[in-house]
Structure 1
C-alpha cells in the first residue's frame, strides 16, 4: 500500500472525526460518504481511481471557496438590503453568479483578453497546444482559446438580445391581455397556442432556411419562438393581480391601463418574471448553440461555441478533448444560470430554509 493511499484515507477519517466531534452533521455525512465511496473505488480502480477522486474533490473545494469569497465580495459592495439577501444565498447561487460575471467580463473585454483575432489564421491546421496557443489550433489554424473568448461575446450576446426581445414581446402582450381581457385576451392566447404547438427547432430551421442565417433573423425567429412562453407566465401572474382590491380601487379612480401596468401590476410580479428571464435565457442560449452546430446559426468566420464543436469534432476520434471545451462552456453557463434562477425562485416563493 503506497504512502498516498495511507495519507488519503487518514485525511478523510481525521476530517470525519473532527466534523463529528464539533457536531457538523452535514460536513460529517459528506466526508464520511466520500470515504466509503473512495474505499469502493479503491478496490475497483486502485490508486489511479483515488487520484481522480482527489482531483475531483479538490476542484469542488476550490469552487466552494471561490463561491464563498465572491459572495462575501458582493455583500461588501452591495447596499444593506441587497447584502442581507445575499447572505442567505447558497454557495451554488454564488458559484452561478461568479460564472456569469466571468463570462460577462470575457465577452465585454474579448479584444483585450484574446491573444489573437477570432478569424486570424496563425498556424497549421490542428496544431497542438503550446505556450502561445493554450488550447491549440482549429481546422483552419486559428487559435481555439481566442475563438472561445470571442464566442462568449457572440453566442451569449446574441442569446441575451434574443431573450430580451422575447421577454419584451411576451411580457407586454401578457400584461395587456390580463388588463384588457375579453377578445384581446382570447386572440393573444390562441396565437400563443399556435406558436407553441410547433416544435421550436423545426420552426427555427424552417425560417432560417427561408430567410437565411443572418444574425438579425436568428434574433427575431428565436424571440418569436419563446415569446409565447413568456406571455403564458405573465398572463397567469398578472391575472392573479388584476382581481385584487387595490386594482379595483385604481380603476375606480379612473386610472388607465398603462398606469395599472406600470405602477400596480408590474412591481408586484417582478420576482417571478426575473426568474423566468433566466430560464428563458437558458433555452434561447441552447437553441442558438444547437442551430450553430447544425450550420444554420451564427455563420463563420464569427466565433461561436456551437459551430466550434462541429468544426473540431474530428479531433475526438484522435483522443483530443478540444471540441469538448466549447461544449463544456455551454453546459457550465447553463447550469450556473439555473443555480441563480433556483435561488431566485426559492426567494420569490416565500419559503424559509430550515
Structure 2
C-alpha cells in the first residue's frame, strides 16, 4: 500500500472525526460517505482512481472556496440593501456570479489577455502546445487559447445582444397586450403560438438559409424565435397585475398606458422578468453555439466556440481533448447562469420567508 493511499484515508477519517466531535453533522456525513465510497473505488480502480477522486474533490473545494471569497467580496463592496440579499445567496449562486464575472472580464479585455490575434496564423496545423501556445494550434495554425478568449467576446456578446432584443420585443408586446386587451391581445397571442409551434433550430436554419448568415440577420432571427417565450411570461405576470385595485385607481385618475406600464406594472413584475432574462440567455446562447457548429452561425475567421468544436473535432480521434474545451466553456457558462437564475427565482417566490 502506497504512502498516498495511507495518507488519503487517514486524512478522510481524521476530518470525519473532527466534524463529528464538533457536531458538524452535514460535514461529517459528507466526509464519511466519501470515505466509504473511496474504499469501494480504491478496491475497483486502485491508486489511479483514488487520485482522480482526490483531484475532483480538490477542484470542488477550490470552487467552493473561491465562491465563498467572491461572495464576501461582493458583500463588502455592495450597498447595505444588496449586501443583505447577497448574504442569503448559496454557494452555487456565488459560483455562478464568479463565472459570469470571469467571462465578462475575458470578453471585455480579450485583446489584452489573448497572447495572439484572433485569426493570426503562428504555427503549423494542429501543432502541440508549447511555450507560445498554451493549448496548441487549430487546423490552420492559429492559437486555440487566444481564439477561446476572443470567443468569449463573440459568442457571449452576440447571445447577449440577441437576448436583449428578444426580451425587449417580447416584454413590450406582453405589457401592451395586458394593458390594452381585446383584439390586440388576441392577435399577439396567436402570433406567439404560431412561432412557438415551429422547432427553434429548424426555424433558424430555414431563415438563415434564406436571408444569409451575417450577424444582424442572426440577431433578428434568434430574437424572433425566443421573443414569444418572453411575451407569454410577461403577459401572464402583467395580466395578474392589471386587475388590481391600484391599477383601476390609476385609470380613474386618467393615467395613460405608458404610465401604467412604467410606474405600476413593471416595478411589480421585475423579479420574474429578470429571472426569465437569465433563462432566455441560456437558450439563445446554446442556439447560437449550435448554429455555429452547423456552419450557419458566426462565420470564420471570427472566433466562436461552436465553430471551434467543429473545426478541431479531428483531434478527438487522436485522444486530444482540446476540442472539448470550447464545449466545456459553453456548458460552464450555461450552468453558472442557471445557478444564479435558480437563486433569483427562489427569492422572488417568497419561499425564503417560510
Query: Which TM bucket (shorter chain)?
Result: over 0.9
Query: Shift of residue 352 of structure 1?
Result: 1.9
Q: TM-score, normalised by structure 1?
A: 0.99
Q: Structure 1 regions of 5+ residues with no counterpart?
A: none
Query: Shift of residue 203 of structure 1?
Result: 0.3
Corresponding residue SS for 2:266:
helix
The answer to whether the aligner puts 1:352 opposite 2:352 as a matched pair is yes
Structure 1 segments of 4+ aligned residues over 6 angstroms from their partners: none
Any residues of structure 2 matched to 1:1-354 within 5 Å, and which? Answer: 1-352=1-352
1:33, 1:333 → 2: CA distance?
30
Query: Shift of residue 119 of structure 1?
Result: 0.4
Query: Shift of residue 2 of structure 1?
Result: 1.1
Query: Shift of residue 216 of structure 1?
Result: 0.4
Deviations along 1:189-226, one digit per CA (max 9) or x if unpaired, are 00000000000000000000011111000000000000
Deviations along 1:129-180, one digit per CA (max 9) or x if unpaired, are 0111000000000000000000000000000000000000000000000001
1:105, 1:353 → 2: CA distance?
35
Query: Shift of residue 353 of structure 1?
Result: 7.7
Q: Structure 2 regions of 5+ residues with no counterpart?
A: none
1:227, 1:316 → 2: CA distance?
37
Deviations along 1:93-117, one digit per CA (max 9) or x if unpaired, are 0000000000000000000100111
2:20, 2:106 → 1: CA distance?
42
Query: Shift of residue 32 of structure 1?
Result: 1.1
User: Which region of structure 1 is more displaced relative to structure 2, 176-185 or 14-23?
Assistant: 14-23
Q: TM-score, normalised by structure 2?
A: 0.99
Query: Shift of residue 28 of structure 1?
Result: 1.0
2:103, 2:319 → 1: CA distance?
28
Corresponding residue SS for 2:125:
coil
2:239, 2:80 → 1: CA distance?
33
1:145, 1:138 → 2: CA distance?
10
2:86, 2:244 → 1: CA distance?
31
